[in-house]
Structure 1
Amino acid sequence: MEVPLFLQVCKLLVSIGVVLGLSLIAERVSTRVAGLLSGYPLGTAIALFFIGLEIGPDFAADSAVHTLAGFTATLALGGGYLLCGRRDGLPGVLAGTVGGLLCWLAASTVLASLAVTRVSGTLITLAAIGLFIGLYRNIPERPATTRGAFSWPALGFRAGLAAAIIFLITGLAHVLPAAWAGLLSAFPVTMFPFLVILHLTHGAAPTATVIKHYPAGLGSLLAYALCVSLTYDRWGLALGTLAGFAVATLWLVAWTRLHASHRRYRRHGRA
């Protein structure tokens, strides 16, 4: 199926804007907030929406079921990047990328062999979230510091990497079954380029901080994927996407408030 040029341009502009926005948040706000927003349904929403436009809402809804379990592979990618990308600069980025992608591929291969349902996919990822939050609890908080001014090469790199990933995922969805299309939709389209950018410009420590907080934001991704798996073939892509973002936003707000209350309780307890 030939994809119209208009859809290709839309994919390009949306993917570029999201990745650049995450990078600005990390530098201007905090790496913790950027890590949480990396778990917001940005890249997954882009992938599933354009898969639905290009192939069909039914196929996208079926893919979203497998996306629920696919977030476990995304967590594996973050863990592999963290373990292998401990050095600053390009060597650390390359090692982290190789380690992360190998972990993602291994986890995705296992998940693709399972008969995943909405319930089992959600439970698998919830268990993985709890595991990785526990594993990351001792990672120190290291904010990113602003360096340098606007750079056309940096902009081009961010734009090219984001566009390449989203085009690859949506392109492969045309030739792969729904299970693999769903797993690919769970790939961290926005987080991965963001990690590479942050690592190159600020080093391994702030990058580890983003990875540390990424599992906490995955609840909103789960909520989004579960919602669109139920609504895409019934309500259509537009309403299904809006409903998914509404549910994801409610989850993220509730989680943020719960986390803030927990931190206040711990401070008062120590006092």
Structure 2
Amino acid sequence: MIELLFIIKLLVAIAFVIGLSILAENVSPKVAGILSGYPTGSAITLFFFGLEVSPDFAAKSAVYNMMGLTAALTFVYVYYIASRYFKRFNILLSSLSAITAYFAVVSLLHLIEINKYIAILIPITFSFLFIRLFKSIENINIKTKAKLNYKILFVRAFFAALIILVITSVPKFVGPTWAGLFSAFPTTLFPLMLIIHFTYSKEHVHTVIKNVPIGMFSLIIYSLVISIVYPLYGIYVGTLISFGAATVYLLVYKKIRSVLDKRELN
């Protein structure tokens, strides 16, 4: 059973990160940034919390996952700021700065006694704040794409697999509060950022970052629905319902964005 779970986590991690990186290259970093907020890493983590521990544990963790999204947004903001100012070892120092900021915010969030209303309000407020802070970032497409080979694909898969396997091991050592906060770590987004930054440039990774807060609303919706439906319907049906709710948000956003763009052209 343990070996099977290991293989599932590894394969899902590979699929998400490679998929998003290819999407960034062939569609745009903007689209990849929005979809990186789609419940991928957190969905995997919460699902395995429910599978390995219990649906109630995962549901409670999902509430703190919403709070933890504040730390995830801080992560991408600090990475953006650090990557602008560090001249040497840019990727390494940006990553270390972002990770440090994430755990600093998580440590502060752990001290707050919360309920679902607070858990919803705080990440929504921060999402709007970071949309504002990232407003001046220019959306840049990738013009010259890297030629994919097995080595590149392996490296891309390795980052996601390592991070997800570490984070999904958390509930074995801590309670649902810490587990939920850690489950918000950008397990899919962080490897994607590293891939785009290393393969292309910081300007391209900034495009990804700019659009993360927009997609983050789908993850807020996902975690909220998980906290409600897991105890009622179990992890399998509950996961389908939650993905459905997150998908509806993205479709509605796409429709509204399309209407607004047409108005601007007219």
The whole-number CA distance in structure 2 between the counterparts of 1:180 and 1:89 is: 35
Correspondent of 1:65 among 20, 38, 63: 63
Report the Cα offset of residue 148 of structure 1: 3.4
* Aligned residue in 2 for 1:157: 155
Deviation at 1:115, TM superposition (A): 1.2
Q: TM-score, normalised by structure 2?
A: 0.96
Per-residue CA distance 1:238-264 (angstroms, 9 max, x = gap): 000000000000011111211222222
* Alignment-derived partner of residue 28 in structure 2: 30
What are the equivalent positions in structure 2 for 1:1-271 lying under 5 Å apart?
A: 4-86=2-84, 91-268=89-266
Counterpart residue identity of residue 60, structure 2: D
How many residue pairs are counted as aligned between the two chains?
Answer: 266
Q: Is 1:49–1:60's contact at 8 Å kept on the other side of the alignment? A: yes
Distance, in Å, in 2 between the alignment partners of 1:79 and 1:49 is 27
Distance in 1 separating the partners of 2:80 and 2:99? 12
Contact 1:66 1:183 in 2 (8 A): yes
Question: Which digits, 9 at most, give the CA deviation of each residue in 1:197-234, with x for residues without a partner?
Answer: 00000110010011000000111101100001111111
CA contact (8 A) 1:85 1:94 kept: no
Question: What RMSD in Å do the two structures reach over aligned CA positions?
Answer: 1.5
% identity of equivalent residues: 37
Relative to structure 1, is the Cα distance of residues 106 and 204 closer, same or farther in structure 2, using a 3 angstrom cutoff? same
Query: Would the aligned equivalents of 1:89 and 1:199 in 2 still touch at CA under 8 Å?
Result: no
How many angstroms apart in 2 are the aligned matches of 1:140 and 1:9?
39
Is the contact between residue 86 and residue 94 of structure 2 (CA under 8 Å) also seen in structure 1? Answer: no
Q: How far 1:55 moved relative to its partner?
A: 1.0
Superposition misfits of 4+ residues, deviation over 4 angstroms? 87-90
1:88 touches 1:203 (CA, 8 Å); kept in 2?
no
